[in-house]
Chain A
Amino acid sequence: MLGFLCGEALRDLVRAGWIALSSVLLIALSLLTLGGFWVFSTNLGGAVARWREQLRIIVYLKTEPSPAAAGALGQRIRAAGDVAQVRYVSKAEALQTLRRQLGAQAAVADTLPQNPLPASFEVTLAETASTPEATRALVERLAALPEVEEVQGGTEWMERLTQLQRLLGLVGLGVGGVLGLAAILTVTTATTLVLHARREELDIMRLVGAPEAVIRLPLLLQGIGQGLLGALLALLGLVGAYRLVRPRLEPLVTLTLGLPHTAFLSPTAVATLLVSGALLGGVGGWLAKGRA
Chain B
Amino acid sequence: MIELHRVSKVFSVGPVKVPALSDVSFRIGKGEFAVLCGPSGAGKTTLLRLLYRDEVPSGGRIDVADYNVGALPRSRVPELRRAMGIVFQDVKLLPARTVYENIAFVLRVLGTPRAEITPRAFAALKAVGLSARAQAYPAQLSQGEAQRVALARAIVKEPALLLADEPTGNLDEGIASELFDLLKDIWSRGTTVLLATHQAALAERLNRRTLVFHGGRLVKDAR
Stretch at the interface among A26-34, A87-95, A207-215, A257-265: A207-215
A212 in complex: contacting residue of B78, B110, B111, B157, CB < 8 Å: B78
**Smallest beta-carbon distance A142→chain B, Å:** 68
Stretch at the interface among B36-44, B101-109, B167-175, B197-205: B101-109
CB-defined contacts of A203 to chain B, threshold 8 Å: 92
CB-defined contacts of A212 to chain B, threshold 8 Å: 75, 78
Determine whether A134 belongs to the interface, using a CB cutoff of 8 Å to chain B.
no
Q: Are A207 and B86 in contact (CB under 8 A)?
A: yes
Interface string of A250-278 (1 = CB under 8 A from B): 00000000000000000000000000000
CA distance A4 to B80 in the complex (A): 23
Closest residue on chain A to residue B85 by CB atoms = A208
**Smallest beta-carbon distance A87→chain B, Å:** 73
**Smallest beta-carbon distance B80→chain A, Å:** 7
CA distance A210 to B157 in the complex (A): 12
Q: Are B109 and A208 in contact (CB under 8 A)?
A: yes
Interface residue ranges of B76-99 to A (CB < 8 Å): 77-83, 86, 88, 92, 94-95
**Smallest beta-carbon distance A200→chain B, Å:** 6
Interface string of A201-226 (1 = CB under 8 A from B): 10111111111101100000000000
CA distance A215 to B74 in the complex (A): 15
Taking each of A204, A205, A212, A215, which has the highest tally of chain B beta carbons within 10 Å of its own beta carbon? A204
Q: Are A200 and B86 in contact (CB under 8 A)?
A: no
A200 in complex: contacting residue of B75, B94, B106, B157, CB < 8 Å: B94
Interface residue ranges of B26-81 to A (CB < 8 Å): 52, 54, 75, 77-81
Determine whether A1 belongs to the interface, using a CB cutoff of 8 Å to chain B.
yes
CB-defined contacts of A207 to chain B, threshold 8 Å: 52, 54, 81, 86, 88, 92
Q: What count of chain B residues pass the 8 Å CB interface test?
A: 22
CA distance A207 to B86 in the complex (A): 8
Q: Are A208 and B81 in contact (CB under 8 A)?
A: yes
Query: Knowing A4-B108, A209-B110, A214-B111 touch, does A204 contact B94 (C-beta < 8 A)?
Result: yes
CB-defined contacts of B108 to chain A, threshold 8 Å: 1, 4
Query: Knowing A4-B108, A210-B109, A214-B109 touch, does A204 contact B78 (C-beta < 8 A)?
Result: no
Interface residue ranges of B183-216 to A (CB < 8 Å): none
Query: Knowing A1-B111, A214-B111 touch, does A208 contact B157 (C-beta < 8 A)?
Result: yes
Q: Are B94 and A208 in contact (CB under 8 A)?
A: no
Query: Knowing A207-B86, A208-B157 touch, does A200 contact B92 (C-beta < 8 A)?
Result: yes
Closest residue on chain A to residue B110 by CB atoms = A210
A204 in complex: contacting residue of B79, B80, B105, CB < 8 Å: B105
CB-defined contacts of B82 to chain A, threshold 8 Å: 208-209
Closest residue on chain A to residue B154 by CB atoms = A208
Closest residue on chain A to residue B78 by CB atoms = A209
CB-defined contacts of B109 to chain A, threshold 8 Å: 4, 205, 208, 210, 214-215
CA distance A214 to B157 in the complex (A): 17
**Smallest beta-carbon distance A106→chain B, Å:** 91
**Smallest beta-carbon distance A82→chain B, Å:** 59
CB-defined contacts of A208 to chain B, threshold 8 Å: 81-82, 86, 106, 109-110, 157
CA distance A215 to B109 in the complex (A): 8
CB-defined contacts of A200 to chain B, threshold 8 Å: 92, 94-95
**Smallest beta-carbon distance A163→chain B, Å:** 54
CB-defined contacts of B86 to chain A, threshold 8 Å: 207-208
CA distance A207 to B109 in the complex (A): 11
Q: Are A209 and B111 in contact (CB under 8 A)?
A: no
CA distance A214 to B52 in the complex (A): 19
**Smallest beta-carbon distance A5→chain B, Å:** 10
CA distance A140 to B180 in the complex (A): 98
CA distance A205 to B106 in the complex (A): 7
**Smallest beta-carbon distance A27→chain B, Å:** 28
**Smallest beta-carbon distance B84→chain A, Å:** 8
**Smallest beta-carbon distance B60→chain A, Å:** 23
CA distance A207 to B157 in the complex (A): 13
Closest residue on chain A to residue B83 by CB atoms = A209
17 A-B pairs (CB sep. < 8 Å): A1-B108, A1-B111, A200-B92, A201-B94, A203-B92, A204-B92, A204-B105, A206-B78, A207-B81, A207-B86, A207-B92, A208-B86, A208-B109, A209-B77, A209-B79, A209-B82, A211-B111
Chain B contact residues, CB within 8 Å of chain A: 52, 54, 75, 77-83, 86, 88, 92, 94-95, 105-106, 108-111, 157
The 8 A-B residue pairs whose C-beta atoms are closest, nearest first, are: A209-B81, A209-B82, A210-B109, A209-B78, A208-B106, A205-B109, A4-B108, A1-B111
